[in-house]
């Protein structure tokens, strides 16, 4: 399935903004991405598999909080670095 | 402390290297390293070419970057500091109730002793102590502290606006089992068994924000420093004053009472002379009313004592005489080990100031960097 990557994580994907991930849940997809791009998961998700405060994960058009949400191969995941800062 | 003519600078927006020739007067600024990352600490191991950066961004979680070739190339740690995934019961209080700890930032880095190649310690927010035995590539929890049955009590005092910070990891160079840590807010703790168990070391330290009179812990050490020539001598800049202790004594003496009353003894950094354990420098800040954390009266000055804090000398030659509201954070002041000791501090305005005559006079050597979080000679 397609996973859209935000620019703060391009250093892991070598500037590729849409990558392929595999898994039956969002968490499994992120774990799969971490195999392909070591270290990427911990920048988005903490040690308790909780999405970090300024990151958002969308499954198709719906924001999800539970990484155990099931996914299918036709779904699309979009990871967003929430607008913030100064 | 190093005889190097190089300063490692960590800022709110990246890391930089400042290098000079032996004059220490002509400084060049490197290109930014990890531009945009929040760099709380940028430290070189004096016994190797290893440098380590504690980093995060406004969005991304914390990590560690490392260079094994003196800053030429960099890579990310394959296993950054992280608390255990299981609920060990040492949770943090939150408005929603207790919640498991997750590392928010890698705040402090300390390389191992001279004989401990590859060893590093890291302190985090919320308060966590981690160790790496492979030059910072993989990090493990120091369970003697992180899973200590007293952890929740020691850290219950809340934290700074940035969280509960574990900092000032000090390794006794003459005893591989002896180390100290500071927690803001929590106090100073000591281990005599290489981190397996810990005891508070806060007697004599004032605490104005606790309902308990003279508690064993809950204090707010901002920065602790240990003499490298006599590791029994420690100083610390606390939220409530400047203190000294000479072990095996267990009671701190408030040497900040000898500071000028109009200046006070509040501040963040604490620096000890590389060869003289009686010589220290502090950078006082305004700790009145709402705690501006800026130079008192808008007149920045370093204060130096050469007699263990009995008397203090104001050192402000070259520093702005008015309308200069510097903030110097706890990691943002260091010294080198030249015969005429070089002192360096970085400000929240992105300036680095240097003295190459033991603090007698100062020059601004770099302007316009991002807000400076750490300064280390190396």
pLDDT of residue B178: 98
User: Which of A47, A52, A56 to probe by mutation at the B interface, max B CB count within 10 Å?
Assistant: A47
For B126-139, write each residue's pLDDT tens digit: 999 999 999 999 99
Q: Where are the domains positioned within chain B?
A: 6-84+99-377
pLDDT at B86 over 90: no
Residues of B in contact with A6 (CB under 8 A): 59
For B264-300, write each residue's pLDDT tens digit: 999 999 999 999 999 999 999 998 888 899 999 999 9
Helical (H) or strand (E) element with B335: strand B333-335
pLDDT at B94 over 70: no
Residue B344 near residue B333, CB atoms below 8 Å: yes
CB proximity B141 to A under 8 Å: no
Which residue in the set B57, B82, B102 is minimally distant from A8, CB to CB? B57
pLDDT of residue A83: 66
Contact: B78, A8; criterion CB under 8 Å: no
Residues of A in contact with B77 (CB under 8 A): 39
How distant is the Cα of B215 from the closest Cα of chain A, in angstroms?
33
B6-84+99-377 carries CATH number 2.130.10.10: yes
Interface confidence (ipTM) of the complex: 0.81
Distance of alpha carbon A74 from alpha carbon B199, whole angstroms: 56
Mean pLDDT, residues B52-70 taken together = 96
Residues of A in contact with B59 (CB under 8 A): 6, 8, 52, 54-55, 81-82, 84
* Mean pLDDT rounded to a whole number for chain B: 95
- Topology given in CATH for the domain delimited by A2-81: Ubiquitin-like (UB roll) (3.10.20)
Q: What percent of chain B has pLDDT over 90?
A: 88
Distance of alpha carbon B89 from alpha carbon B138, whole angstroms: 24
Contact: B76, A46; criterion CB under 8 Å: no
B214: left (phi over 0), alpha (psi -120 to 50) or beta: left
User: Which of A6, A34, A43 to probe by mutation at the B interface, max B CB count within 10 Å?
Assistant: A43
Give the β-pairing of B140-141 and B179-184: unpaired
Mean pLDDT, residues A68-79 taken together = 96
For B296-326, write each residue's pLDDT tens digit: 999 999 999 999 999 999 999 999 999 999 9
How distant is the Cα of B126 from the closest Cα of chain A, in angstroms?
13
Which residue in the set B60, B83, B84 is minimally distant from A43, CB to CB? B60
CB proximity B61 to A under 8 Å: yes
Mean pLDDT, residues A25-31 taken together = 97
Q: Where are the domains positioned within chain A?
A: 2-81
Q: Cα dist. B349→B39, B291, B367 in Å? A: 15, 18, 8
Mean pLDDT, residues A31-41 taken together = 97
Contact: B85, A48; criterion CB under 8 Å: yes
Q: What angle do CA B234, B239, B241 make, to 5 degrees?
A: 60
Burial category of B59 from C-beta neighbours within 10 Å (exposed 0-12, middle 13-18, buried 19 and up): buried
A vs B, Cβ pairs < 8 A, gives 51
Nearest residue on chain A to B64, alpha-carbon basis: A39
Residues of B in contact with A30 (CB under 8 A): none
pTM, full prediction = 0.93
- Residue B210 pLDDT grade (very low, low, confident, very high; cuts 50, 70, 90): confident
For B147-160, write each residue's pLDDT tens digit: 999 999 998 766 77
- Residue B163 pLDDT grade (very low, low, confident, very high; cuts 50, 70, 90): confident
């Amino acid at each position: 399935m397609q996973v859209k990557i935000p620019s703060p994580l391009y250093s892991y994907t070598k500037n590729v903004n849409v990558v392929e991930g595999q898994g039956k849940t969002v968490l499994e997809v992120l774990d799969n991405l971490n195999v392909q791009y070591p270290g990427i998961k911990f920048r988005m998700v903490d040690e308790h598999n909780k999405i970090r405060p300024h990151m958002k994960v969308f499954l198709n058009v719906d924001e999800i909080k539970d990484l155990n949400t099931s996914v299918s191969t036709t779904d699309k995941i979009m990871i967003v670095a929430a607008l913030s800062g100064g | 402390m190093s005889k190097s003519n190089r300063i490692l600078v960590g800022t709110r927006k990246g890391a930089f290297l400042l290098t000079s020739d032996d004059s220490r007067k002509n400084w060049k600024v490197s290109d930014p390293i990890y531009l945009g990352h929040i760099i709380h600490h940028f430290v070189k191991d004096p016994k190797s070419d290893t440098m380590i950066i504690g980093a995060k961004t406004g969005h991304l979680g914390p990590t560690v970057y490392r260079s094994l070739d003196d800053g030429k190339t960099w890579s990310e740690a394959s296993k950054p500091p992280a608390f255990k995934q299981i609920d060990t019961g040492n949770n943090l209080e939150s408005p929603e109730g207790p919640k498991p700890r997750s590392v928010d930032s890698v705040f402090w880095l300390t390389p191992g002793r001279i004989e401990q190649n590859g060893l590093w310690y890291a302190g985090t927010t919320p308060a966590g102590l981690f160790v790496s035995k492979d030059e910072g590539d993989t990090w493990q929890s120091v369970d003697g502290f992180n899973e200590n049955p007293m952890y929740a009590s020691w850290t219950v005092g809340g934290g700074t606006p940035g969280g509960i910070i574990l900092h000032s990891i000090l390794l006794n160079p003459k005893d591989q089992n002896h180390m100290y840590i500071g927690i803001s807010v929590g106090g100073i703790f000591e281990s005599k068994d290489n981190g397996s168990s810990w005891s508070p070391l806060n007697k004599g330290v004032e605490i104005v924000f606790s309902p308990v009179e003279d508690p064993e812990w809950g204090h707010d050490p901002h920065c602790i420093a240990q003499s490298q020539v006599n590791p029994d001598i420690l100083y610390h800049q606390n939220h409530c004053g400047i203190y000294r202790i000479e072990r095996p004594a267990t009671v701190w003496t408030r040497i900040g009472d000898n500071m000028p009353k109009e200046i006070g003894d509040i501040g963040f950094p604490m620096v000890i002379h590389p060869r003289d354990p009686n010589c220290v420098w502090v950078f006082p800040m305004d700790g009145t009313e709402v705690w501006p954390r800026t130079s008192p009266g808008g007149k920045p000055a370093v204060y130096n004592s050469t007699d263990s804090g009995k008397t203090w000398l104001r050192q402000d030659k070259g520093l702005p005489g008015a309308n200069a509201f510097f903030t110097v954070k706890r990691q943002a002041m260091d010294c080198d080990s030249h015969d005429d000791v070089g002192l360096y501090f970085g400000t929240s305005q992105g300036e680095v100031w240097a003295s190459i005559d033991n603090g007698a006079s100062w020059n601004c050597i770099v302007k316009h960097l991002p807000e400076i979080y750490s300064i280390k000679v190396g």
